[in-house]
Structure 1
Amino acid sequence: MRIATWNVNSVKQRVPRLLPWLDQREPDVVCLQETKLSGEAFTELLGAELAARGYEVAVNGLNQWNGVALLSKVGLDDVVVGLPGGPGFPGQEPRAVSAVCGGARVHSVYVPNGRVPDSDHYRYKLEWLAALTEFVRPDAETTVVCGDVNIAPADADVFDPAAYAGHTHVTAPERAALAELTGLGLHDVLRERWPEERFFTYWDYRQGMFHKNLGMRIDLVLAGGPLAERVAAAWVDREARKGSKPSDHAPVVVDFDVAPDGDVGPVVPPPSAARPRKGFTLPQSDIIS
């Protein structure tokens, strides 16, 4: 089974890239984030195309902001839309959807950004992660949490830790909240497979950060222990971040039991940019999605 997660940063804008990518990579389960469409609009836009490719679909979305979706060729049972018991800002936002796919409960999540440390939105982010942890807890062994978690788990997951000092995504409370989730027995399967490699999943559109490979790893696949043991390949599809009108995120692809493309490495294709010099300043007013 191949599971992929991708923050598409507006599914409407990304249709010309999404459908060919589905045909090329042929994932069995796809978790999408930042769809920015209501459920009705998502179905009107993509329902027929996805059905023709064999996907069942569960969507949690509103117009313009946030939104997640779950596509599956291997079953879509016991769908849960939203995060039970989760906080709101002020109401509960469309940031989570889950279902049982191929015997595992798969979550597509778009964790709140946090905006500025110690802000109301930052505290909301921590509360949201705590609610997700409680939701996952009973079935952690048979769970896969996929999505844009808006946290770099460690300093190795950003191009230059000093550049992010004072920003969200790298603070100790955020990382501790993520550690509470993984502490249920979930494994960061990409990092565990490639413990020493340098790779990212998000690059700001500005200042040529993708071409310079100045990024962060904030899109994760977290799998319960028995599922993590079945991982045959795990990689970032950097090719999908290249070319015309891309998302600012690249998909993460994980193969369980069988790797159709082989154990291809952490990034496909590998980046050509050298490791950057220290002292790079992030784009002004940078808000990471």
Structure 2
Amino acid sequence: MKIATFNVNGVNGRLPVLLQWLSEAVPDVVCLQELKAAPEAFPEGPIRDAGYEAVWHGQKRWNGVAILARGAAPIETRRALPGDRGDTHSRYIEAAVGGILIGCLYAPNGNPVPGPKFDAKLRWFERLTAHAADLLTQGIPAALVGDYNVIPTDRDVYKPERWQDDALFQPEVREAFHTLVTQGWIDALRSLHPDEPIYTFWDYQRNGYARNAGLRIDHLLLSPTLAHRLIAADVERKVRGWSKTSDHAPVWIELADAPSRRTQPHKPSPSRGKGHGRARR
């Protein structure tokens, strides 16, 4: 099974890019973020024509998340994190696909720092961490997938010194991500590529993509019951270079159909390097 995440930065405006990528990459499950579309404006028809059924949680102009599944209908189980009944932002949706529980998320940006938006980001991560712990307690094969708006380490950003004042790189945010992972979740991309610089976002400004000046803020976390099926993970960096594309590139993992001691990780591709850019969300 191939699972991918892609912050499309406007699902209708980037629909040709999304459809082209789906036809070339043929992922089995896709988590989309930053739809920027009201629920009734989600392009269900073109996506179905491409071979995918979908569940989505839209919001006009901002946020928005969706889960696509190839040749099967995702079974929605949740469309908001527990812990805040007043949360009206479309930042989380969850569905069962092929025996795996997929949580698609779009974390708050949190800028400026300090301030109420940063405080809200930390509270949102507390809710995510509590829900993630509950999933692990249940022993469910699960993946928490999406745009976390967190740069976990120095090697996940071009020129870390430029990001000291940004919410994505604050010690409290990095610690929140670390706390989540150390519950037992596996950072899939890092587990197969532990040392190399890997980026998933390049700003439109300052020629970020051409300079490979990027960030790694899109992550796929796997539960222990799923992690031993991981055989490959990579970034579709070329998609960021397409015309009228998102400022993110798709990130994907491949899981074996069944656990196997003989399964070996694929060799990483040589397509990554260094970079820097400021997230707009």
TM-score of the alignment, normalized to the shorter chain, above 0.5: yes
Distance 1:25 1:211 in 2: 23
Distance 1:114 1:252 in 2: 23
* 1:20-39 alignment, distance < 5 Å: 20-39=20-39
What is the TM-score with the length of structure 1 in the denominator? 0.88
Preserved contact between residue 151 and residue 174 of structure 1 (Cα < 8 Å): yes
Give the drift of 1:78: 4.1
Name the counterpart of 2:209. Answer: 210
Encode CA deviations 1:128-181: one digit per residue, 9 max, x unaligned: 011111122222352101100000111110111111112111111001111222
Distance 1:96 1:27 in 2: 20
Encode CA deviations 1:76-108: one digit per residue, 9 max, x unaligned: 2243112222375xx420000011111111011
Residue 259 of structure 2 corresponds to residue 263 of structure 1: no
Name the counterpart of 2:181. Answer: 182
Encode CA deviations 1:46-83: one digit per residue, 9 max, x unaligned: 22222233322111111101111111135522431122
Residue 78 of structure 2 corresponds to residue 80 of structure 1: yes
Task: Could you tell me which runs of 5 or more consecutive residues in structure 2 were left unpaired when the two chains were aligned.
Answer: 258-264
Preserved contact between residue 192 and residue 268 of structure 2 (Cα < 8 Å): no
AA aligned to 2:17 is: R
Name the counterpart of 1:7. Answer: 7
Distance 1:17 1:263 in 2: 27
Preserved contact between residue 52 and residue 68 of structure 2 (Cα < 8 Å): yes
Name the counterpart of 2:101. Answer: 105
Distance 1:58 1:111, change over 3 A: same
Q: Once the two structures are aligned, what percentage of the paired residues are identical? A: 36
Preserved contact between residue 86 and residue 92 of structure 1 (Cα < 8 Å): no
Distance 2:13 2:45 in 1: 17
* 1:1-289 alignment, distance < 5 Å: 1-42=1-42, 46-73=43-70, 74-86=72-84, 91-140=87-136, 141=139, 142-257=141-256, 263=266, 265-266=268-269, 270-271=271-272, 286-289=278-281
AA aligned to 2:196 is: E
Distance 2:6 2:51 in 1: 19
What is the TM-score with the length of structure 2 in the denominator? 0.90
Q: How many equivalent pairs are there?
A: 270
Preserved contact between residue 19 and residue 50 of structure 2 (Cα < 8 Å): no
Distance 2:130 2:93 in 1: 15
Give the secondary-structure state (helix, strand or coil) at the position aligned to 1:37.
Answer: coil
Preserved contact between residue 116 and residue 122 of structure 1 (Cα < 8 Å): yes
AA aligned to 1:36 is: K
Give the drift of 1:264: 5.8
Once superposed, which parts of structure 1, at least 4 consecutive aligned residues long, lie more than 6 Å away?
none
Preserved contact between residue 6 and residue 32 of structure 1 (Cα < 8 Å): yes
Give the secondary-structure state (helix, strand or coil) at the position aligned to 2:13.
Answer: helix
AA aligned to 2:123 is: E
Distance 2:207 2:32 in 1: 25
Distance 2:250 2:267 in 1: 15
